[in-house]
Every structure is written in structure tokens, then in C-alpha cells.
Structure 1
């Protein structure tokens, strides 16, 4: 009651506000205009626009003010750092709220991993909301550390930081009325449900929307985005480290439908976050591509708040949360200050982040290079062909040469062996296939970042190097390892589930940049992030062909296919 009275008294000018942004040029998300006035704040709430005085005042005469940015869909784990550290990085980019889907750690550590992310997020300087992982594993064709059912998720569905059900990746399970996915959808009927709907047919889209799915971040062209928007779906404009669909989708936005678009990063490495940015990067790209700056700033804030029913944020108006970004240059978005919960964010000295006792997630034996030998059964094999700046791939056929009953080499020079090895239950499951287009030569890369089950994925042109890389991963508890000539030439340890670390983000970025430079030196092409591109080769819910520990998976058939093409 006292707080309400104070807000009213300050709004009426009877008492000073706690903070006033004087003479601000602010983005009015309701009128799509730039208005001018004082923004008065009491506590964490905007209480008035007009002429005000405050206990603290910031002169904004030469600045623009916009609502804090919201990342509508992000997997924090892909940054390789924990939520608390993640928040400390992105708030400086104007991000004040994110909607996180912790399905990466859930595939490795189950609900304990989800609890870990939620607990750690409480120390972050931003608001972190969560969507419960809906598909762990992503499909029945994978070998994850855990499988989460509706009863597992029900324990957290009413948690106040849980907004609903995370991206439903198994579209065939939805359209074919799989009983377990139906239970999860029904459990979330009064919450929000995110989708994952690449290349979806109109009827399948109708089925997904009818099931309660509300958003999608897997559109790759404007036509696809327009269909989804026309049916009432929110379409996310994604600019991650590997999947960059933003530019391709911008032509779909017009004056009538722009309220149905959101920005998201999905999967973004720490080096990109530090050097290029997050949602602020999406805004700059969109403006540079011709999108009206005001619309870009509204998409970055108010649209996401509406989509997820975050009714207290996303606008600069009385009664809204005082999460604000102060910046210069409407097109360049040069961020000067960030206001979070009514207070200016000031970077503090490096904190001693709360840590946990980490147990190794590498539940497997050392391997021998013999597992990478492929018995020759025909003269042509199916190959995964990379597509630049995309998570999607093509299925192509390539000729082989054999020796002593095994594949000796590929006729096409830019083809490497790729293998996924199960690491969670020591089953020994593994499969060896081939990938084209990466450019890597005389080097092997192995990592435990392999969406979404996060088994070991390894690529290379030398079986012995691949063996050394995998066994080194087992020894260090997961991460990334590079080997050439039988020697480890670089590595990054990620002891938390094989996908994250408590190490300082700037040091992680430095290590990652070094690994990237080495990978480029061994031929990896500029259009591919060597580690993120590799990590998505094991995710079967993205077209057209991927590899799991069980075999080569064809998305169109939604089933495994043979490695060899028999006439």
C-alpha cells in the first residue's frame, strides 16, 4: 500500500521520483514514434512521463531511450558459460530479459541440470525465464543422458520463472498424436509452448498450432515465415553463431504484420556475444537492411513481451518495469547506459561465482581407431553436405575407393569422416559417416558439444588423430580437442556436462578464438563456425540429413537411411 501511495505521489509531482531521465527522446511502442519528455522512476517502475524532478537525474538530451531488449529464445549453454555469467555479459548489450530453454544440459544431466540452471540464474543481473525442455531426447532415434517425461516436467511447470514448454522439435510426434508429447502439451495448456517447425507443411502447421504451439525460430525464407505468421504464429528472426536467418526473413516484415516477429539468438558462442553482440546485433543488422529503426526496437522489446505475456515490461509508460537502454545514434545503436529495475547497471569487479562440485559426464571407455574403419559395401555413399551459414544440410552421393575391403578414400577431395559416439551410458554405440564442405585438412576435431544429446562428435581425415582427439576428451571431462599428426594441438575443457564452464567468459572467448584460428589454419572455411557447425551435424530434427550414434538420419523420411547407395 505504501509503495502504491509513493508511486501516485511521485506521478502527481508531490514528491521527487527516485530517478528521472531528463529530456529523453524515447521510443513509444504504442504509437511507433519518438517522443520527448522526462521519464520518472520510483523503485523498479516507471511512474510518469512529462516534467519531473528526481533524487537522481540523468540528462538524456542527446540520447535515445528504448525498452530493454528481450532475447525470445536462447540456449545459454551454447555460450559455454553459466546463466549468472551470461547475464553479466549480455546486460551490457542492452539485454534485460531472456527466455532460456535449458534442453542442452537436460540431455546430459536431466532435471538436475535444469535445476542447476534455474538456481544459478537467480544471481544474474537480468531476468531469466525458462521454458521446460519438451524433447529430451529430441527424437526416439538418439541416445541422450536422460529422457524427460511429462511427470518430470510437471514438478517445475508452476515455478514462477517457468513460462511454459520449450521448443517442440519432434513434429511427427505431434501430428501423429504421440501419447507422451500429448501429455506435455496438455500439461502446458495454460502456459506457452514454443515450436521448432522447419519446412513444415500447411496441414502440419495447422496441427502444431492447434496443439498450442505458438512460436517458431526455424524459418529459412520469407515465404515460410509469411505462412506461419498468417496462421497466427510468432516468427523469431534468428541470428546465432551458425544459424543466421535474419537477413533472409526480413523481407517478410511489413506494416501490417511486424507485431508477429521477435528477435532471438538461439545458439551463440561467447566470442560472438562479446565481440559482435546479441539482440543489439539483430537490431543493427535489421536497420542496415532497411527495416524502420522504431520497428526494429519494438520487435526487440514489446513484441517479445506480448508474446510471452510479460505484461510488466517492453514499453516506456507508467506502470511498466524500468528496464531501459540509453543509446546514441538511432541507426548505429551505440549503447551508453542500461537501466535495470530502475537502477543504472554498473559493472562490478569480477565476482567469485558460486560453484558446484562437478562430476565427469564422460561415462565411456577409451576407444581405438579401428572403430573408424568403414567396410566397403558399394562404390557410392550418402554424404552430409554443409550449406553455408545454415544448420540445414544436403544429402549428396559420392564415389569411394576401396582397399582390403574398407573405404580407402573419397574421390571428392573435400570429404571427411564424421562419427558420433555415445558417451552417457557406455553402450559402445557409434556410427561413422562422411561430411563434405568443411574444408578441414590434416587435423581432427572432437567435441562433446553435439546437439542435442551431446554425445561425442568427431571429424577428420586420419583415424589415429580422431582416436587421440576422442580419448583426450574422455580424459579432460569433455569440451573441444584438436589433434594433428597424433598430437593434441589445442583444447578447451568444459567440465559442466561437457558443454559449460565456470571459467571467466573473456578467457573462454580467448581460448575459443585461438581454437578457431587454428581451425582456419587447417582449412575450415570462413562461412562455417568450426565448432557450432560441427555441433549441429548430430541434430536429426533439422533438414536434410544428420548423423547420430545409431546411423545416418534423413529428415524427410524421418528415419535412418543406409550409408551405402546400392544400385
Structure 2
């Protein structure tokens, strides 16, 4: 049973837009009374405010089960997430979504999960499952925690009013669930048509002009700052005028950065830039609760006692986090007990060898279509580059940062798809990962075929994980036995293990802030320009396969 207590603090009221000292009375997990003790903030008191909400996150990208994600997140004042289980949905279908619900229920944290709208994400890759419109309706009917239709990545299908796509949107409207969007770069009349279909949000804006276009068309825009995509700097100056229609999100957050901070960091950065604190807190706390109709308290009488206590409204150092009146974190320490994490998976392991990744030169002087990745972005660019040939084979040109990229089907034995990429800066060895958006086949990058094969084989043998392999026998593997996406271990231990494999990737030469996170998006076909699936190199602008070697 929830406890009853009082807490004295400067209360941040996001409805009256005031801050005043008060005694907060909590009874049976709810705020029974707010008793003002003055009219202006008392500098001797800490500040109480509604908890932070991550308005769009794939929990799986933390490499942690929901219960472990929650244990880390509450330390930073996060009390709820709007979580798209799209990743595990692509591996295990509805069973994967239900796994997330079941695990998340075991901790006092407020997960709002979505019904994945695009499983598989495209017909141009091999996924482990299909989630149909019928499946989505059953999820809406069975589970109140399924609070929205998750990001509609098939924006061409929306624009063309594809029957299956529109049926999923219709079902969301029938069951009174908002529909999340995903339309990077879409502006003008196409953006308006996309929004008019019933899409309410977008977290993929990477330029202020694009975000403004969507805001003016009636869409809510999320400012994203995660481990791979970081759009805070590009979008934050829209907040003063559009704060009523903006939210903060991480989208994808690796465990090493989750240990350090979460939405609290975005709040602190925004205020440090001179943004008005009450507007920033509305974006971080109130807007997601209202848009998604979350069962999260907002520090009003009668609300669930979901609130946080911070030292001041500049640093936002979280002293305490409460959920339903229960103290779940205090002074940097989680108070949520760990629960056993069940292992589920869908992984067909098969051996690979170096020759599996060889490419014969089709002509004496071929040209490569080379994908270029960018630190902090999901988009890529295309470059036509002269191929380096050795013994009739097209090989990486490490000196020019042209490395070999491969995607290996993890659901069936099949020949790997091979292409070339620049931007990683790897000087030797290889990296491999079973986290490969969106179908989560094995994605790997390497400077030579032997290292590439070894890294892929390590992931195969573990039936999921992140691997870094050096040419001199260096090897590190972070096993991910839960769907090949998540660990079954303690979140802090996973963060430490991730830090170690990330450090080896950088020791091997990678210049990226989060090389494994960036690698995981090189198979994400719905983000332009060039990407690689298990079926081949894909042009995301022309929406068709193209040759890697010309």
C-alpha cells in the first residue's frame, strides 16, 4: 500500500505558471493537499516539480529490459516513457510486445507502449515477424498500456493512402489512440497530406525549417537527443514560440549515456541557453502526459504522487523521485529492486567465413557506391568512389576510410549483403551487432574480411550481441540474449560492459561518439540516402535497390 507523508518544497505549478513554497501532502499514493506557506520561492528549499517524460524511446536500444531501464531512468527524474516496442516487434511480433508489457509491469514505473505500425518496416528486408492490422486491433483491445499507434514510418504509404496503412490509422482513431509519425525531411504539401491522414507527432526533424513547417501545419514536434541522432541544437530555438506543441525525447539511448542522464540533461541545457524555465518544464513534463493521456500525475491535488525534487532550477540535480507516492530514487541511487529478466529470442545461428564477404570486381576499374555516415545523424550521403582492387577482389581502402559493410540474415542461412561505407574512421579490425534497425539482422563493418567474419561469428554464437575484434587477437563481446537486443543482466553492469566494447571500437580507430549506435542505423532503409539490408544496397530516395559495385 502506498505510504502517506508530507514534503516541503518550492512547488512548480505548470498550470498557473507559478512557483511557491508549500507542504505537499501525500496519502495513499496521491497528492491529497498542496498547502502554500508563502507566495514567492523560498531559497532555502528545494524544488518539487512533475517528473520528466521521454516522449519517444525504444527501450530496447538501451540494451536493457524495461525493468532495468526504469531502474536507471528514475535516478534522473524520469517517471514515464512513451515507448515504441518496434524493435522486439520486428524480431518476435506480438509476443515481443507482450514481453515488454509483462516485464515493465514488474516495476513502479509508468511505461506507455505503442502498437508497432510498421513490422516489417519495409518489404526490402527480412524481419522475424509481421504485425498486421488485426494484431494491432487486438493489442488495443487487450492492453490499456498500449496507448498509441507507434511511429508510422511508411510515409509513402500514407501519402498514397495505402489501404493497409490507412486501416491501421483508422483503428487507432477508433480506439482513441494518437498516431505517432516518422517523416524525416518531409515538408510542404506532402507534410500537410501526411498530417491530415491523422499523424500527430514527428521526432525525425533534423532542421529547424522542417520542424517549423510541421508545427505550422498542426503537428507536435519532438526535440530528439539520443546516443545516435542529436537534434537539440537544431531545434531548441523553436521552443519559446512553440513550447505548447513540443516535447523532449531520446529515441535511442545506450546504457552508458543513460547512466549519466536522461531528459534532465535536455532541461538543464535548455535553461542554460536562456530558455524560460516554465516553458521548458512544460515541454519536458506536461505536454507528453496530455498528448498521450498518460496516467501520470502533474503535481496537482488529486493527482498520482508522481513528482521529483531537485536542488535548483538551473542544475536540476535530482534529489528524490516519487512514483505513486513511493520513493524510487534518492541522491543518485535507484531504490527499485531488480527483477529476473526472462530470455526470449528468435535467432538462427549459422557459421560464416571470410570468403563469404568477398566481392569480385566486375570490371578492371569499377566504381563503388559508397555510403557516408555522419556523427549524430541517421541520414547518410552517397559518394561514387574508385574501387581498390587486389587479386581481382574489391577490398576496403582503409587509408581513404572506405570500409566494408555487411548485413547478415539472422533468421535464416543466406549469403550476406555487402557494400562500402565511410565515416567510421576504423583503422583495423571489425565491429558487429545484432541490433540493426529495423529488422535486426547482424550489421557489421570491417577493415578486412577475416576480422569481419570473426566479429559476425561471435555475435552468431551468442545469438545476439555487440562484438569488437582487432587483428591481433583482441576480442570483446557484450551478449544480448533477449531477442538479440537486450541483456538479462543488471543495468549498471551492462553499461560498464558496453563502455568497454565501445572503448575497444575507438581504440581500433573509430572517430564516432557512439560507433555501435551509428552502426545499428546503417540498415534503416526508411532514412535516406543509402542504406544496406540483408537483401542489398538500398537507395532510400529512389526507394529501390542499387548496385554497390558499378
Q: Tell me the TM-score normalised to structure 1 length.
A: 0.91
Aligned to 1:95: 78
Aligned to 1:398: 385
Once the two structures are TM-superposed, the CA of residue 349 in structure 1 deviates from its matched residue by 7.2
Once the two structures are TM-superposed, the CA of residue 60 in structure 1 deviates from its matched residue by 9.6
Aligned to 1:161: 145
**Distance between the aligned counterparts of 1:348 and 1:233, measured in 2?**
36
Aligned to 2:493: 507
Aligned residues of 1:287 and 1:296 also touching (Cα < 8 A): yes
Is 1:541 equivalent to 2:533 in the alignment?
A: no
Aligned residues of 1:481 and 1:488 also touching (Cα < 8 A): no
Aligned residues of 1:465 and 1:487 also touching (Cα < 8 A): no
**Distance between the aligned counterparts of 1:482 and 1:49, measured in 2?**
54
Aligned residues of 1:21 and 1:60 also touching (Cα < 8 A): no
Once the two structures are TM-superposed, the CA of residue 429 in structure 1 deviates from its matched residue by 4.3
Pick one of 194, 201, 205 that aligns with 1:215.
201
Aligned residues of 1:468 and 1:487 also touching (Cα < 8 A): no
Is 1:436 equivalent to 2:419 in the alignment?
A: no
Is 1:477 equivalent to 2:460 in the alignment?
A: no
Q: Which runs of 4+ in 1 moved over 4 A?
A: 346-352
Aligned to 1:425: 412
Aligned residues of 1:237 and 1:262 also touching (Cα < 8 A): yes
**Distance between the aligned counterparts of 1:102 and 1:60, measured in 2?**
43
**Distance between the aligned counterparts of 1:336 and 1:397, measured in 2?**
53
After superposition, give the CA deviation of every residue in 1:480-521 in whole Å (9 maximum; x if it has no partner): 112222735111111111111111111111111111111111
Q: Tell me the TM-score normalised to structure 2 length.
A: 0.93
Once the two structures are superposed, the pairs formed by residues 156-555 of structure 1 within 5 Å of their partners are: 156-158=139-141, 159-189=143-173, 190-255=176-241, 257-275=242-260, 277-310=261-294, 313=296, 315-346=298-329, 351=337, 353-359=339-345, 361-377=346-362, 379-410=366-397, 413-426=400-413, 428-485=414-471, 487=473, 489-525=475-511, 527-555=512-540
Aligned residues of 2:187 and 2:210 also touching (Cα < 8 A): no
Of residues 34-43 and 122-131 in structure 1, the stretch that sits farther from structure 2 once superposed is 34-43
Of residues 140-149 and 59-68 in structure 1, the stretch that sits farther from structure 2 once superposed is 59-68
After superposition, give the CA deviation of every residue in 1:140-167 in whole Å (9 maximum; x if it has no partner): 1111111211112222113111112100
Q: 1:425 to 1:153 in 2, by over 3 A?
A: farther
After superposition, give the CA deviation of every residue in 1:258-281 in whole Å (9 maximum; x if it has no partner): 110001111001110002x11111
Find the residue that maps to 1:538 and give its secondary structure: coil
**Distance between the aligned counterparts of 1:296 and 1:513, measured in 2?**
31
After superposition, give the CA deviation of every residue in 1:194-252 in whole Å (9 maximum; x if it has no partner): 01110003222222212211111000011111111111111111110111111110112
Q: 1:282 to 1:314 in 2, by over 3 A?
A: farther
**Distance between the aligned counterparts of 1:341 and 1:389, measured in 2?**
36
Find the residue that maps to 1:514 and give its secondary structure: helix
Once the two structures are TM-superposed, the CA of residue 97 in structure 1 deviates from its matched residue by 1.1
Aligned residues of 2:395 and 2:404 also touching (Cα < 8 A): no
Aligned to 2:113: 130
Aligned to 1:7: none
Alignment length (residue pairs): 537
Once the two structures are TM-superposed, the CA of residue 136 in structure 1 deviates from its matched residue by 0.9
**Distance between the aligned counterparts of 2:416 and 2:182, measured in 1?**
27
Q: 1:529 to 1:108 in 2, by over 3 A?
A: same
Once the two structures are TM-superposed, the CA of residue 350 in structure 1 deviates from its matched residue by 8.0
**Distance between the aligned counterparts of 1:532 and 1:18, measured in 2?**
43
Once the two structures are TM-superposed, the CA of residue 85 in structure 1 deviates from its matched residue by 1.2
Is 1:556 equivalent to 2:541 in the alignment?
A: yes
**Distance between the aligned counterparts of 2:297 and 2:203, measured in 1?**
20
**Distance between the aligned counterparts of 1:239 and 1:521, measured in 2?**
25
After superposition, give the CA deviation of every residue in 1:321-341 in whole Å (9 maximum; x if it has no partner): 211110112111111111211
Aligned residues of 2:370 and 2:422 also touching (Cα < 8 A): yes
Q: 1:397 to 1:28 in 2, by over 3 A?
A: same
**Distance between the aligned counterparts of 2:48 and 2:337, measured in 1?**
29
